[in-house]
Structure 1
Amino acid sequence: MHTKIRFTGAGDSLLQSEWRQPGTANPIAPPAERPVVRRTLGPAALHLGARKASVAQERNRARDIVSAAKQELANTFEDVRFGRGLSVDKLWPLVSGIQASISRHPSAVLGVTRLKDRHEYTYVHSVAVCGLMISLARQMGLPPASHHEIGLAGLLHDIGKARVPTMLLDKPGPLTPDEKDIVRNHALWGYEMLIEGQRDAGSNSRLPQIVLDVCLHHHERVDGTGYPDRKRGEDISIYARMAAICDMYDAMTSARVYKAASSPAEALEYLASNPGKVDAEILRHFSVMIGIFPVGSLVRLRSDRLAVILDDPEGDSIAPAVCPFFCIQTKQTLPLRRTAPGLDPIVGIELPSRWNLSCWPETRAAILAQFSGEAATADSVMIDIN
């Protein structure tokens, strides 16, 4: 059961002079000292009617869209923080702009959001999660009518961080247990902010249930170790399970004051090697959507064979060379041969624990060595699978 928290303005817990933008050291002026002047974003600013063009042109459009979304999110965070109410009408066009860009060139928005200044991390991260969730929904074949709401859920998933002190968001060292508790409150705080904000804004700004659910539950984990409700498995909605992967991936691939950015391959490898934290089936869709497979990853091919991603400097990260070694249907090991990219498409990353692969790190290393010339024959590779 959740504790009800009412947000009536900056005076709830901090002095108005103490409020800061997430990721900055500069106080925000109180509402009375800062007139609210907002520009309206039209279709042209968000390139809503643009035709498909080159990747370079779409990347320039994506920069405009991300810049507009960043500013509108900063305004939204401030409005909710100071109890002005939440205007969903201003956010829907942003989601439409991001969705339109993804439909023209899926990589453009995601490429632009990879570059984050630490002073605006919270906002650009929210845009990135919005784009990742829309792309994932497309990859999973979810009804197109739901993509817009799923995107808005990504855009607002971290709004509760408006209540988290900046010094904790940007702390260079490890958080204390008490500080971790404060940061973890952002999921519940965000949910309460959205409920309170839409109540103040009236019936014209009702939020879809998907948005509220993702805000509250994007830190739940399928093994029950997440927060705030320690939900497990399918008790967590599919949208919150999608958000968990998108949120973790973008956070891992972003540089922060307290850590360097992981590569996309490293992030996918981490997610795949931690069974129980994220939904394995959704992760398979996500890895195909991202189109980057780390060397040595265990993958399933369309032919229902397990394979290892090979190191191929001249290859394609979207369709890399693989070495199939086990047939799922016949439950037989296979002769080790390099398979050319695209002949047997990858359908997703697999977890070694799912297939009871004994000594998987050693097996993987041996297969990779076989194709780097370090092992003489395929017979030198022993594969133990139960």
Structure 2
Amino acid sequence: MIKLVPVARLRPGMYVHDLHCGWLQHDFVRNRFLVADVEDVARIRALGVAEVSIDTARGLDPDAAPAATAPDREALAGPPPPAVHTASKVAGTQEHARNLHREANEIVRDLLADVRLGRQIEIEKVEPLVTRIVDSIFTRADALLPLARLKQHDSYTFQHSVSVCALMTAFARTLGLPRETIREIAIGALLHDVGKARIPDEILNKPGKLTDAEFERMKSHVVQSKLILMATPGISPIALEVAAQHHERFDGSGYPNRLAGDAISLYGRMAAIVDVYDAITSERVYHKGMPPTEALRKLLEWSSNHFEPRLAQAFIRSVGIYPTGALVRLESKRLAVVQAQHADKPTLPRVKVIFHTAGHYLQPEDLDLRRSQDRIVGHEDFAAWNIDPARWLAL
């Protein structure tokens, strides 16, 4: 039973159903959770809300008899947040991620070249790579995801495909989808733009605005991707939906079929969000990439029509309010690159301090904001400070 209770009556053992505030206003990993201890109570009171909704079927009822006991925390709270990795393990996974990212870009580049020559995709060559990407994300997403931001203008198409694959894997993991389903989603994400191999380079890489005719030709890559994958032995319906629907929009304004709402599969709705996020954070021949945090705010804004709001918020949680690889400004007037997320403290990630706003580099310093008095006060753009992101994102 859902009850509205004053925050003053909140106690450990109660199950919060709704905090009655925006997700950016709190730092709990979930919107619904068991109140574990007095610290959780204090954090909720600090939000400034007068009342919260609780679920008495999953936690204590304030109006029940005093003898009632608190439910088992593990049974109600869901899976624990990802473990914090030791420094030695982090170093190993970062090296592995760099090698995997490099190999993935090479494989997708060669695959697109084969399609351009009329050759059929061999799914047997794709599956081992995707399995390794999924394994890497499950081991430590913070190692692979920042590398998704490193792209060259003339290599965008295949590098974008690798990025979308990694981001979709992390997104699907956050949603708690089965691992086999995640693998099929990742295959579809890696191949979602394969139809661009049939679009002329002068359109793909045109530095200016496309003509109406050129834009229609560009849009045809979605249908081409679907046709190519339908002719690929071993491709799954899930992978096909990712590729065929990644330009559909929740309000029906997308293409090629102007699908809307639940007519778009879950995987297509996910792909639409991830594809746009990676595109707007990337440097392109015709536009400058946005800082990740600004891009997340745009996704939230666009979720009123283009994207399913529930999924847009879930994606933001999957990459973090301050995504790994983002450049942020601290209260101390220092700039830092986000290194890793803390699922229970999304506004307090682990960062590497590298620069002072006075205009000079600092001796790099690893800083866990959970244990520091310093705080993030905003996001920054690498280019605005003439900082080469490749120097710091590949660490």
User: TM class, shorter-chain normalised?
Assistant: 0.5 to 0.7
| Map of 1:46 onto structure 2 | none
Deviation at 1:179, TM superposition (A): 1.1
| SS of structure 1 residue aligned to 2:207 | coil
> Matched residues in 2 for 1:230 and 1:320: separation?
37
Deviations 1:198-220 (A, max 9, x none): 2xxxxxx3100111111111000
Give the letter aligned to residue 119 of structure 1: D
Contact 2:149 2:281 (C-alpha < 8 Å) held by counterparts: yes
Aligned to 1:273: 301
Residue in structure 2 matched with residue 84 of structure 1 by the alignment? 119
Matched letter for residue 226 of structure 2: Y
Counterpart Cα distance in 2 of 1:85 and 1:261? 33
1:320 offset after TM fit, Å? 2.7
2:256 matched residue in structure 1:
228
Closer/same/farther in 2, CA of residues 56 and 118 from structure 1, 3 Å limit? farther
Query: Residues 53 and 220 from structure 1, CA distance in 2 versus in 1: closer, same or farther, beyond 3 angstroms?
Result: farther
- Which SS does the other structure have where 1:91 is aligned? helix
Task: Tell me the residue number matched to 2:237.
Answer: 209
Among 80, 86, 95, the residue aligned to 2:130: 95
1-structure distance, mates of 2:346, 2:191? 33
Structure 1 Cα separation of the partners of residues 154 and 276 of structure 2:
19
Offset of residue 53 of structure 1: 4.9
3-state SS of the aligned residue for 1:105? helix
Aligned-residue offset at 1:141? 0.9
Residue 319, structure 1, aligned to residue 354, structure 2: no
Aligned to 1:190: 225
The one of 102, 105, 116 aligned to 2:151: 116
SS at match of 1:171: coil
Q: Aligned partners of 2:99, 2:218: CA distance in 1, in Å?
A: 31
Aligned in 2, Cα 1:98/1:52: closer, same or farther, shift over 3 Å?
Answer: farther
> RMSD in angstroms over aligned alpha carbons?
2.4
Distance 1:187 1:57, change over 3 A: same
Alignment of 1:1-386 (within 5 A): 53-196=88-231, 198=232, 205-274=233-302, 275-292=304-321, 313=331, 319-320=346-347
- Give the superposition deviation at 1:319: 2.8
Report if aligned partners of 2:171, 2:314 keep a CA contact under 8 Å in 1.
Answer: yes
Partners of 2:184 and 2:107 in 1: CA distance: 17
Gaps of at least 5 residues in structure 2 are 1-85, 324-328, 349-368, 371-376, 378-395
How far apart, CA to CA, are the structure 2 residues paired with 1:280 and 1:312?
30
CA deviations 1:160-216 (Å, max 9, x no partner) are: 1101111112211111111111110000011111223x2xxxxxx310011111111
The one-letter code matched in structure 2 to 1:237 is S
Distance 1:139 1:52 in 2: 24
Letter paired with 2:320: G
For residues 145 and 191 of structure 1, what CA distance do their matches in structure 2 show? 21
Q: CA deviation at 1:96?
A: 1.1
Q: Percent identity?
A: 38
Amino acid at match of 1:313: E
The residue type equivalent to 1:256 in the other structure is R
Question: Using the alignment, how far apart are the partners of 2:252 and 2:221 within structure 1?
Answer: 19
Q: Does structure 2 conserve the Cα–Cα contact (< 8 Å) formed by 1:268 and 1:293? A: no
**What's the CA shift for 1:113?**
1.8
- AA of the residue aligned to 2:133: I
Distance 1:54 1:237, change over 3 A: same
Report which of the two has the higher share of strand.
2
Distance 1:210 1:102 in 2: 19
Aligned-pair CA distance for 1:78: 2.2
Paired letter, 1:268: L
Distance in 2 of aligned mates of 1:235 and 1:216: 13
C-alpha separation in 1, matches of 2:214 and 2:88: 47
Tell me how far 1:293 sits from its aligned partner: 5.2
In the alignment, is the contact (CA less than 8 A) between 2:222 and 2:243 conserved in 1? Answer: yes
**Following TM superposition, by how much is the alpha carbon of 1:105 offset from its aligned partner in structure 2, in angstroms?**
1.2
Shift of 1:82: 2.1
Q: Secondary structure at the match of 1:60?
A: helix
Tell me the CA shift for residue 119 of structure 1.
Answer: 2.1
How far off its partner does 1:312 sit? Answer: 6.7
Q: Partner letter of residue 277 of structure 2?
A: Y
Q: TM-score, normalised by structure 2?
A: 0.60
Matched AA of 1:287:
I
SS of match in other structure, 2:129: helix
**CA contact 1:66–1:124 (8 Å) conserved in 2:** no
Aligned length: 251
Distance 2:243 2:185 in 1: 11
TM-superposed deviation, 1:289: 0.9
**Equivalent position amino acid for 2:236 in 1:** P
Q: Residues of 1 paired with 2:229 and 2:179: CA distance?
A: 25
Q: What is the distance in 1 between the residues matched to 2:346 and 2:125?
A: 39
Q: Which amino acid aligns with 1:109?
A: L
